[in-house]
Amino acid sequence: MGEVCRTWVNLTWNDIDWNEKIAWVWSAKNRMRLPERQPVFLSEKAMEILQEIRKGNPPKKQIFINPVTGEPFKSPKSTLSRAIKRLGLPMRGVHDLRHLFASRLIESGMDNITASLLMRHRDVRMMSRYTHLSSSHLHERLNEALNNDNGMATDEKKEE
């Protein structure tokens, strides 16, 4: 996970494509371990946050700057872990954010293929490893399925 943290912390303003709403990140996660640039699609909210950061800070090469030192973060993983703990999020570590993101995508009704692409998985089957649906979501879907007449007649309806 340290590699993922460094990828984001080292993001520069030149890595943001404002027109396409994409952040181009460097990834070493391929079989040959050669770095490659990969697109990460940014939400409207992410674009707003980046615009605020850009307005509020003097221009620096990197986007995420330690507010105390004015320099890039040296230990992004521990910084993010402390922030998660301070916010009281029910997570053991930074990597749990990926699991949370995957779960939220699926719970919102997104299909596995689209969610897998947004997660930058090479194989859609990885979604089953990353997605942890809440019990309330499972109950809602169960009740929707049972209350929806989708052509499956019950014994009571057959008798009428």
Domain check: are 78 and 107 in the same one? no
Examine the fold and report which residue of 67, 92, 117 is the final residue of a domain before the chain moves on. 92
Domain check: are 28 and 40 in the same one? yes
3-state secondary structure of 92: coil
Domain check: are 116 and 85 in the same one? no
H or E element at residue 86: helix 76-87
pLDDT value at position 131? 78
Q: Residues 72-90: what's their mean pLDDT?
A: 77
Domain check: are 35 and 62 in the same one? yes
pLDDT tens track for 103-145: 888 888 888 888 888 887 778 888 877 778 778 877 887 888 8
* Strands of the 36-41 sheet, one edge to the other: 16-17, 22-27, 36-41
pLDDT value at position 4? 63
- The reply to whether 141 falls in a domain is yes
User: For the packed helices 112-119 and 96-107, what is the interaxial angle rounded to 10 degrees?
Assistant: 150
Tokens found for residue 149? 């007449």
CATH number where 62 lies: 1.10.443.10
User: For the packed helices 2-9 and 76-87, what is the interaxial angle rounded to 10 degrees?
Assistant: 100
Please tell me the total count of domains within the chain: 2
Examine the fold and report which residue of 92, 112, 133 is the final residue of a domain before the chain moves on. 92
- Residue with more model confidence, 160 or 23: 23
Domain check: are 112 and 140 in the same one? yes
Domain check: are 26 and 63 in the same one? yes
pLDDT tens track for 26-70: 775 555 555 678 888 999 999 999 998 888 766 678 888 888 888
Task: For 105-131, give one letter per residue: b (16+ CB within 10 A) or e.
Answer: bbbeeeebeebbeebebeeeebbeebb
Tell me the CA distances in angstroms from 37 to 3, 10, 47, 95, 108, one per residue in order. Answer: 14, 13, 20, 21, 28
The answer, yes or no, to whether residue 76 has pLDDT greater than 80, is no
- Displacement of CA 48 from its chain's centroid (Å): 16
Examine the fold and report which residue of 46, 62, 92 is the final residue of a domain before the chain moves on. 92
Domain check: are 53 and 127 in the same one? no
pLDDT-based confidence at residue 149 (cuts at 50, 70, 90):
low
pLDDT value at position 2? 47
Domain that holds residue 44: 1-92
Sign of CA dihedral 78, 101, 92, 39: negative
Domain check: are 112 and 86 in the same one? no
Compute the 3-state secondary structure of the chain and give helix, strand, coil in percent, each to the nearest 5.
50, 10, 40
pLDDT value at position 48? 94
Domain check: are 83 and 105 in the same one? no
- The reply to whether 155 falls in a domain is no
pLDDT value at position 1? 42
